[in-house]
A = this chain, B = another copy of it.
Amino acid sequence: MAVNLYIPPESQIFPVAGVEIGIAEAGIRKANRRDLTVFRLAAGSSVAGVFTRNRFRAAPVQVCEAHLAADRGIRALVINTGNANAGTGQSGLEIARQTCTALASLLDIEAEQVLPFSTGVILEPLPLDRLVAALPTAIRGTAADNWFAAAHSIMTTDTQPKIVSQRVAIGNQTITITGISKGAGMIRPNMATMLGFLATDAGIAPDLLKRMAGSIADRSFNRITVDGDTSTNDSFIMAATGASPLRIESESDPQYEPLYRALTDAAAELAQKIVRDAEGATKFITVRVEQALNTEEALKVAYAVAQSPLVKTAFFASDPNLGRILCAVGYAGIDDLDVSRTKLWLGDVLVASRGERHPDYQEADGQRVMKEPEITVRIALGRGDVTETVYTCDFSHEYVSINADYRS
Protein backbone atom coordinates (compact mmCIF):
# COMPACT_ATOMS: atom_id res chain seq x y z
CA MET A 1 0.00 0.00 0.00
CA ALA A 2 2.97 2.29 -0.60
CA VAL A 3 2.16 5.93 -1.42
CA ASN A 4 3.22 6.86 -4.95
CA LEU A 5 6.40 4.84 -4.67
CA TYR A 6 7.99 4.88 -8.09
CA ILE A 7 9.70 1.69 -9.13
CA PRO A 8 11.76 2.29 -12.26
CA PRO A 9 11.53 -0.32 -15.03
CA GLU A 10 14.56 -2.59 -15.26
CA SER A 11 15.65 -0.77 -18.41
CA GLN A 12 16.08 2.40 -16.34
CA ILE A 13 18.23 0.77 -13.69
CA PHE A 14 21.81 1.41 -14.70
CA PRO A 15 24.64 -0.76 -13.44
CA VAL A 16 27.53 1.10 -11.83
CA ALA A 17 30.87 0.11 -13.32
CA GLY A 18 32.95 -1.38 -10.54
CA VAL A 19 29.99 -2.80 -8.58
CA GLU A 20 28.79 -6.39 -8.82
CA ILE A 21 26.04 -7.91 -6.73
CA GLY A 22 25.24 -11.49 -5.76
CA ILE A 23 22.23 -12.84 -3.89
CA ALA A 24 21.38 -16.11 -2.13
CA GLU A 25 18.86 -17.85 0.11
CA ALA A 26 20.54 -18.37 3.47
CA GLY A 27 17.40 -19.24 5.44
CA ILE A 28 18.32 -16.76 8.19
CA ARG A 29 14.79 -16.49 9.46
CA LYS A 30 12.54 -17.90 6.78
CA ALA A 31 13.13 -20.56 4.17
CA ASN A 32 12.73 -19.93 0.45
CA ARG A 33 13.48 -16.27 0.46
CA ARG A 34 16.53 -14.42 -0.77
CA ASP A 35 17.94 -12.89 2.37
CA LEU A 36 21.65 -12.59 1.68
CA THR A 37 23.26 -9.97 -0.56
CA VAL A 38 26.92 -9.49 -1.39
CA PHE A 39 28.32 -6.36 -3.06
CA ARG A 40 31.76 -6.55 -4.65
CA LEU A 41 33.53 -3.26 -5.22
CA ALA A 42 36.43 -2.70 -7.61
CA ALA A 43 39.87 -2.15 -6.12
CA GLY A 44 40.47 1.54 -5.50
CA SER A 45 36.82 2.35 -4.70
CA SER A 46 36.23 5.02 -2.06
CA VAL A 47 33.70 3.97 0.57
CA ALA A 48 32.19 6.02 3.41
CA GLY A 49 29.45 5.27 5.91
CA VAL A 50 27.13 7.00 8.35
CA PHE A 51 25.72 4.89 11.18
CA THR A 52 23.05 4.94 13.87
CA ARG A 53 23.66 7.04 16.96
CA ASN A 54 21.71 4.59 19.10
CA ARG A 55 23.87 3.62 22.09
CA PHE A 56 22.86 0.00 21.52
CA ARG A 57 24.76 -0.09 18.24
CA ALA A 58 24.36 -3.50 16.68
CA ALA A 59 27.38 -5.75 16.19
CA PRO A 60 27.63 -5.21 12.41
CA VAL A 61 27.57 -1.43 12.91
CA GLN A 62 30.48 -1.69 15.33
CA VAL A 63 32.39 -3.90 12.89
CA CYS A 64 31.67 -1.52 9.98
CA GLU A 65 33.07 1.38 11.95
CA ALA A 66 36.20 -0.57 12.88
CA HIS A 67 36.78 -1.78 9.33
CA LEU A 68 36.30 1.68 7.83
CA ALA A 69 38.73 3.07 10.41
CA ALA A 70 41.29 0.38 9.51
CA ASP A 71 41.41 2.04 6.08
CA ARG A 72 42.49 -1.03 4.08
CA GLY A 73 40.16 -0.21 1.18
CA ILE A 74 36.65 -1.67 1.31
CA ARG A 75 36.10 -4.35 -1.35
CA ALA A 76 32.85 -6.05 -0.30
CA LEU A 77 29.58 -5.57 1.59
CA VAL A 78 27.57 -8.45 3.03
CA ILE A 79 23.95 -7.82 4.00
CA ASN A 80 21.54 -10.21 5.64
CA THR A 81 17.90 -9.66 6.42
CA GLY A 82 15.80 -11.53 9.01
CA ASN A 83 18.08 -10.93 11.99
CA ALA A 84 19.67 -7.65 13.09
CA ASN A 85 22.46 -9.16 15.21
CA ALA A 86 21.67 -6.46 17.76
CA GLY A 87 21.63 -6.77 21.54
CA THR A 88 23.78 -9.85 21.06
CA GLY A 89 26.88 -8.73 22.97
CA GLN A 90 30.34 -10.22 22.51
CA SER A 91 29.12 -13.30 20.67
CA GLY A 92 27.24 -11.09 18.21
CA LEU A 93 30.41 -9.15 17.50
CA GLU A 94 32.25 -12.40 16.94
CA ILE A 95 29.59 -13.56 14.47
CA ALA A 96 29.78 -10.27 12.54
CA ARG A 97 33.57 -10.58 12.39
CA GLN A 98 33.43 -14.21 11.30
CA THR A 99 30.99 -13.29 8.55
CA CYS A 100 33.59 -10.88 7.21
CA THR A 101 36.39 -13.41 7.57
CA ALA A 102 34.42 -16.05 5.69
CA LEU A 103 33.57 -13.71 2.82
CA ALA A 104 37.12 -12.32 2.68
CA SER A 105 38.56 -15.80 2.41
CA LEU A 106 36.25 -16.65 -0.49
CA LEU A 107 37.14 -13.38 -2.26
CA ASP A 108 40.82 -13.49 -1.40
CA ILE A 109 40.77 -10.16 0.37
CA GLU A 110 41.23 -9.19 4.03
CA ALA A 111 38.42 -9.36 6.59
CA GLU A 112 38.87 -5.64 7.26
CA GLN A 113 37.99 -4.97 3.62
CA VAL A 114 34.45 -6.29 4.23
CA LEU A 115 31.54 -4.33 5.76
CA PRO A 116 28.69 -6.37 7.32
CA PHE A 117 25.04 -5.24 7.61
CA SER A 118 22.14 -6.96 9.34
CA THR A 119 18.48 -6.08 9.70
CA GLY A 120 15.53 -7.87 11.24
CA VAL A 121 14.63 -8.99 14.75
CA ILE A 122 16.87 -7.98 17.62
CA LEU A 123 18.16 -9.84 20.70
CA GLU A 124 18.34 -13.17 18.88
CA PRO A 125 21.57 -14.84 17.75
CA LEU A 126 22.35 -14.59 14.04
CA PRO A 127 22.78 -18.12 12.59
CA LEU A 128 26.35 -17.75 11.35
CA ASP A 129 26.57 -21.25 9.86
CA ARG A 130 23.59 -20.77 7.56
CA LEU A 131 24.82 -17.36 6.48
CA VAL A 132 28.33 -18.60 5.71
CA ALA A 133 27.01 -21.67 3.90
CA ALA A 134 25.14 -19.44 1.44
CA LEU A 135 28.06 -17.13 0.65
CA PRO A 136 29.49 -19.25 -2.22
CA THR A 137 26.13 -19.22 -4.01
CA ALA A 138 25.91 -15.46 -3.66
CA ILE A 139 29.43 -15.01 -4.98
CA ARG A 140 28.91 -17.32 -7.94
CA GLY A 141 25.92 -15.28 -9.03
CA THR A 142 27.48 -11.81 -8.82
CA ALA A 143 26.56 -9.60 -11.76
CA ALA A 144 26.47 -5.89 -12.51
CA ASP A 145 22.74 -5.88 -13.23
CA ASN A 146 21.51 -7.35 -9.95
CA TRP A 147 20.47 -4.03 -8.39
CA PHE A 148 16.76 -4.72 -8.62
CA ALA A 149 17.13 -8.17 -7.10
CA ALA A 150 19.26 -6.66 -4.33
CA ALA A 151 16.59 -4.06 -3.58
CA HIS A 152 14.24 -7.02 -3.08
CA SER A 153 16.56 -9.17 -1.03
CA ILE A 154 17.31 -6.54 1.63
CA MET A 155 13.60 -5.96 2.42
CA THR A 156 12.05 -6.78 5.82
CA THR A 157 8.54 -5.41 6.38
CA ASP A 158 8.94 -3.32 3.21
CA THR A 159 6.15 -3.93 0.72
CA GLN A 160 8.09 -2.57 -2.25
CA PRO A 161 11.71 -2.53 -3.35
CA LYS A 162 13.34 0.91 -3.21
CA ILE A 163 15.72 1.84 -5.93
CA VAL A 164 16.96 4.97 -7.68
CA SER A 165 19.11 5.09 -10.78
CA GLN A 166 20.18 7.91 -13.00
CA ARG A 167 22.77 8.97 -15.49
CA VAL A 168 23.97 12.49 -14.95
CA ALA A 169 26.12 14.72 -17.11
CA ILE A 170 28.80 16.38 -15.01
CA GLY A 171 30.97 18.64 -17.12
CA ASN A 172 31.67 16.63 -20.23
CA GLN A 173 31.33 13.24 -18.49
CA THR A 174 28.25 11.14 -17.94
CA ILE A 175 28.33 9.30 -14.66
CA THR A 176 25.95 6.77 -13.15
CA ILE A 177 24.36 6.90 -9.72
CA THR A 178 22.38 3.89 -8.53
CA GLY A 179 21.23 3.04 -5.03
CA ILE A 180 18.86 0.96 -2.96
CA SER A 181 17.35 1.33 0.47
CA LYS A 182 15.15 -0.58 2.87
CA GLY A 183 13.17 0.23 5.97
CA ALA A 184 9.54 0.66 6.85
CA GLY A 185 9.29 0.91 10.62
CA MET A 186 11.53 2.12 13.42
CA ILE A 187 12.36 5.02 11.14
CA ARG A 188 13.67 8.22 12.55
CA PRO A 189 16.63 10.37 11.87
CA ASN A 190 20.01 9.40 13.23
CA MET A 191 18.99 6.94 11.83
CA ALA A 192 16.38 4.18 11.41
CA THR A 193 16.12 0.43 10.81
CA MET A 194 17.11 1.59 7.55
CA LEU A 195 19.81 0.61 5.16
CA GLY A 196 20.85 2.76 2.25
CA PHE A 197 23.51 1.97 -0.34
CA LEU A 198 24.40 4.52 -2.96
CA ALA A 199 27.06 3.88 -5.58
CA THR A 200 28.56 5.94 -8.36
CA ASP A 201 31.24 5.31 -10.93
CA ALA A 202 32.59 8.80 -10.35
CA GLY A 203 35.95 8.93 -8.61
CA ILE A 204 35.80 10.77 -5.29
CA ALA A 205 38.76 11.14 -2.93
CA PRO A 206 38.12 9.07 0.24
CA ASP A 207 38.24 12.02 2.66
CA LEU A 208 35.93 14.05 0.47
CA LEU A 209 33.48 11.15 0.19
CA LYS A 210 33.46 10.84 3.96
CA ARG A 211 32.48 14.50 4.36
CA MET A 212 29.89 14.16 1.61
CA ALA A 213 28.31 11.07 3.20
CA GLY A 214 27.72 12.90 6.49
CA SER A 215 26.27 15.94 4.81
CA ILE A 216 24.13 13.94 2.39
CA ALA A 217 22.75 11.76 5.20
CA ASP A 218 21.71 14.93 7.01
CA ARG A 219 19.76 16.05 3.95
CA SER A 220 18.12 12.70 3.25
CA PHE A 221 17.98 9.81 5.70
CA ASN A 222 18.16 12.16 8.68
CA ARG A 223 15.09 14.06 7.51
CA ILE A 224 12.54 11.28 7.63
CA THR A 225 10.47 9.88 10.46
CA VAL A 226 7.87 7.16 10.64
CA ASP A 227 7.53 6.40 14.33
CA GLY A 228 10.32 8.29 16.03
CA ASP A 229 12.31 5.16 16.80
CA THR A 230 16.02 5.27 15.97
CA SER A 231 17.19 1.75 15.42
CA THR A 232 20.31 -0.11 16.42
CA ASN A 233 21.41 -0.93 12.88
CA ASP A 234 20.91 2.05 10.62
CA SER A 235 23.58 2.40 8.01
CA PHE A 236 24.04 4.56 4.95
CA ILE A 237 26.95 3.62 2.72
CA MET A 238 28.31 5.50 -0.27
CA ALA A 239 30.73 3.95 -2.71
CA ALA A 240 32.56 5.72 -5.53
CA THR A 241 34.29 3.22 -7.77
CA GLY A 242 36.21 5.66 -9.96
CA ALA A 243 35.48 3.57 -13.06
CA SER A 244 34.39 6.70 -14.94
CA PRO A 245 37.00 9.30 -15.92
CA LEU A 246 35.43 11.93 -13.63
CA ARG A 247 37.56 12.34 -10.53
CA ILE A 248 36.94 14.88 -7.81
CA GLU A 249 39.45 15.63 -5.07
CA SER A 250 37.93 18.53 -3.16
CA GLU A 251 34.95 20.83 -2.69
CA SER A 252 36.71 23.51 -4.75
CA ASP A 253 36.52 21.42 -7.92
CA PRO A 254 33.91 23.05 -10.21
CA GLN A 255 32.37 19.62 -10.80
CA TYR A 256 31.88 19.06 -7.07
CA GLU A 257 28.67 21.00 -6.68
CA PRO A 258 26.66 19.29 -9.45
CA LEU A 259 27.90 15.87 -8.31
CA TYR A 260 27.02 16.64 -4.70
CA ARG A 261 23.55 17.78 -5.76
CA ALA A 262 22.95 14.68 -7.88
CA LEU A 263 24.04 12.35 -5.09
CA THR A 264 21.96 14.25 -2.54
CA ASP A 265 18.89 14.06 -4.76
CA ALA A 266 19.36 10.32 -5.18
CA ALA A 267 19.81 9.80 -1.42
CA ALA A 268 16.78 11.98 -0.65
CA GLU A 269 14.70 9.95 -3.07
CA LEU A 270 15.86 6.71 -1.46
CA ALA A 271 15.02 8.09 1.97
CA GLN A 272 11.61 9.36 0.92
CA LYS A 273 10.79 5.99 -0.61
CA ILE A 274 11.14 4.55 2.88
CA VAL A 275 8.46 6.94 4.11
CA ARG A 276 6.26 6.19 1.10
CA ASP A 277 6.41 2.51 2.02
CA ALA A 278 6.24 3.08 5.77
CA GLU A 279 4.30 0.52 7.75
CA GLY A 280 0.63 1.20 7.17
CA ALA A 281 1.22 4.53 5.42
CA THR A 282 -1.61 5.83 3.25
CA LYS A 283 -0.25 9.37 2.86
CA PHE A 284 3.10 11.03 2.27
CA ILE A 285 3.46 14.18 4.35
CA THR A 286 6.00 16.94 3.85
CA VAL A 287 6.45 19.19 6.87
CA ARG A 288 8.20 22.41 5.94
CA VAL A 289 9.11 24.90 8.64
CA GLU A 290 10.04 28.39 7.48
CA GLN A 291 11.23 31.61 9.11
CA ALA A 292 13.02 29.82 11.92
CA LEU A 293 15.94 31.40 13.74
CA ASN A 294 18.14 28.38 13.12
CA THR A 295 18.14 24.79 11.90
CA GLU A 296 17.78 23.35 15.38
CA GLU A 297 14.50 25.07 16.15
CA ALA A 298 13.16 24.49 12.63
CA LEU A 299 13.76 20.76 13.08
CA LYS A 300 12.28 20.76 16.60
CA VAL A 301 9.02 22.11 15.23
CA ALA A 302 9.07 19.92 12.12
CA TYR A 303 9.63 16.76 14.16
CA ALA A 304 7.08 17.71 16.81
CA VAL A 305 4.47 17.91 14.06
CA ALA A 306 5.77 14.94 12.06
CA GLN A 307 5.86 12.65 15.10
CA SER A 308 2.62 13.57 16.81
CA PRO A 309 0.34 10.52 16.82
CA LEU A 310 -2.62 12.87 16.95
CA VAL A 311 -1.52 14.74 13.85
CA LYS A 312 -0.74 11.48 12.08
CA THR A 313 -4.09 9.87 12.87
CA ALA A 314 -5.85 13.04 11.67
CA PHE A 315 -4.02 12.70 8.33
CA PHE A 316 -5.09 9.06 8.18
CA ALA A 317 -8.69 10.18 8.65
CA SER A 318 -8.33 13.04 6.10
CA ASP A 319 -9.54 15.25 8.91
CA PRO A 320 -8.31 18.87 8.73
CA ASN A 321 -7.92 18.93 12.51
CA LEU A 322 -5.51 21.83 12.32
CA GLY A 323 -5.59 22.49 16.02
CA ARG A 324 -3.53 19.36 16.52
CA ILE A 325 -0.82 20.79 14.26
CA LEU A 326 -0.79 24.12 16.07
CA CYS A 327 -0.73 22.26 19.35
CA ALA A 328 2.39 20.35 18.27
CA VAL A 329 4.04 23.59 17.16
CA GLY A 330 3.29 24.95 20.60
CA TYR A 331 4.93 22.13 22.53
CA ALA A 332 7.94 21.75 20.24
CA GLY A 333 10.15 23.44 22.78
CA ILE A 334 10.67 27.00 21.53
CA ASP A 335 10.19 28.78 24.82
CA ASP A 336 9.92 32.28 23.41
CA LEU A 337 7.72 31.43 20.44
CA ASP A 338 5.32 34.28 19.74
CA VAL A 339 2.29 32.40 18.46
CA SER A 340 0.78 35.61 17.10
CA ARG A 341 3.52 35.64 14.43
CA THR A 342 2.99 32.06 13.23
CA LYS A 343 1.20 30.99 10.10
CA LEU A 344 0.05 27.57 8.97
CA TRP A 345 -0.74 26.35 5.48
CA LEU A 346 -2.21 23.04 4.46
CA GLY A 347 -1.12 22.64 0.86
CA ASP A 348 -1.86 26.05 -0.64
CA VAL A 349 -4.57 26.89 1.89
CA LEU A 350 -3.74 29.44 4.58
CA VAL A 351 -5.33 27.89 7.60
CA ALA A 352 -4.17 29.84 10.61
CA SER A 353 -2.41 33.09 11.29
CA ARG A 354 -1.74 35.03 14.47
CA GLY A 355 -2.31 31.88 16.51
CA GLU A 356 -5.87 31.34 15.41
CA ARG A 357 -7.95 30.15 12.48
CA HIS A 358 -7.58 32.47 9.50
CA PRO A 359 -10.83 34.37 8.92
CA ASP A 360 -11.01 33.26 5.28
CA TYR A 361 -10.36 29.61 6.01
CA GLN A 362 -13.12 27.24 4.92
CA GLU A 363 -13.16 23.71 6.25
CA ALA A 364 -14.02 22.48 2.74
CA ASP A 365 -10.65 23.79 1.51
CA GLY A 366 -8.77 21.99 4.24
CA GLN A 367 -10.77 18.86 3.56
CA ARG A 368 -9.85 18.96 -0.11
CA VAL A 369 -6.13 19.04 0.70
CA MET A 370 -6.38 16.36 3.39
CA LYS A 371 -7.86 13.90 0.90
CA GLU A 372 -4.77 14.03 -1.31
CA PRO A 373 -2.22 11.22 -0.98
CA GLU A 374 0.60 13.79 -0.80
CA ILE A 375 0.21 16.69 1.58
CA THR A 376 2.52 19.57 2.41
CA VAL A 377 2.18 21.25 5.79
CA ARG A 378 3.91 24.60 5.86
CA ILE A 379 4.55 26.45 9.11
CA ALA A 380 6.03 29.94 9.23
CA LEU A 381 7.44 30.95 12.61
CA GLY A 382 8.10 34.64 11.91
CA ARG A 383 11.47 34.52 13.68
CA GLY A 384 14.20 34.29 11.03
CA ASP A 385 15.00 32.96 7.59
CA VAL A 386 15.92 29.29 8.07
CA THR A 387 13.82 26.63 6.36
CA GLU A 388 13.95 22.90 7.07
CA THR A 389 11.86 20.06 5.71
CA VAL A 390 11.02 16.68 7.20
CA TYR A 391 9.10 13.82 5.58
CA THR A 392 6.67 11.54 7.32
CA CYS A 393 3.49 9.56 6.78
CA ASP A 394 0.14 9.09 8.46
CA PHE A 395 -0.60 6.65 11.25
CA SER A 396 -3.11 3.94 10.44
CA HIS A 397 -4.71 0.80 11.80
CA GLU A 398 -2.33 -1.08 9.60
CA TYR A 399 0.68 0.34 11.48
CA VAL A 400 -0.61 -1.14 14.71
CA SER A 401 -1.37 -4.47 13.04
CA ILE A 402 2.07 -4.75 11.47
CA ASN A 403 3.90 -3.89 14.66
CA ALA A 404 1.73 -5.98 16.91
CA ASP A 405 2.29 -9.01 14.69
CA TYR A 406 5.86 -8.47 13.50
CA ARG A 407 7.45 -11.39 15.29
CA SER A 408 4.61 -13.85 14.85
Contact = CB atoms under 8 A, between A and B. Distances in A.
Given A228-B307, A399-B400, A54 B327 contact: yes
Contacts of A319: 404, 406-408
Given A123-B352, A310-B227, A356-B89, A55 B339 contact: yes
A140 to B, nearest CB: 34
Number of copies: 2
A337 interface: yes
Given A229-B308, A310-B185, A329-B56, A356 B123 contact: yes
A132 interface: no
Interface string A324-359: 101111110011010110000000000010111100
A88 interface: yes
A355 B56 CA distance: 7
A356 B88 contact: yes
Nearest to A125: B357
B352 A309 contact: no
Interface string A35-53: 0000000000000000001
Contact of A354 (B89, B335, B352, B408): B89
B357 A327 contact: no
A118 B309 CA distance: 22
A171 B334 CA distance: 46
A397 B400 CA distance: 6
A5 interface: no
B330 A56 contact: yes
Contacts of A407: 319, 321
B322 A229 contact: no
Contacts of A238: none
Contact of A331 (B89, B230, B326): B230
- Chain B CB within 10 Å, residue with most, of A229, A232, A357: A229
A123 B310 CA distance: 15
A403 B408 CA distance: 27
A324 B228 CA distance: 12
Nearest to A233: B327
A314 B400 CA distance: 9
A396 B400 contact: yes
A87 interface: yes
A108 interface: no
Contacts of A357: 87-88, 123-124
A143 interface: no
Contact of A55 (B84, B88, B337): B337
A301 B133 CA distance: 40
A231 B324 CA distance: 9
B122 A317 contact: no
A316 interface: yes
Contact of A87 (B334, B356, B401, B405): B356
Closest 9 CB pairs of A and B: A122-B323, A89-B356, A56-B330, A317-B404, A313-B403, A230-B331, A54-B330, A123-B323, A55-B330
Given A89-B355, A123-B357, A186-B310, 11 more contacts: A56-B329, A87-B352, A92-B356, A122-B326, A123-B356, A190-B331, A227-B309, A229-B308, A229-B327, A317-B404, A321-B407
10 contacts: A54-B327, A54-B331, A55-B339, A87-B323, A87-B327, A89-B354, A186-B327, A316-B400, A319-B407, A396-B400
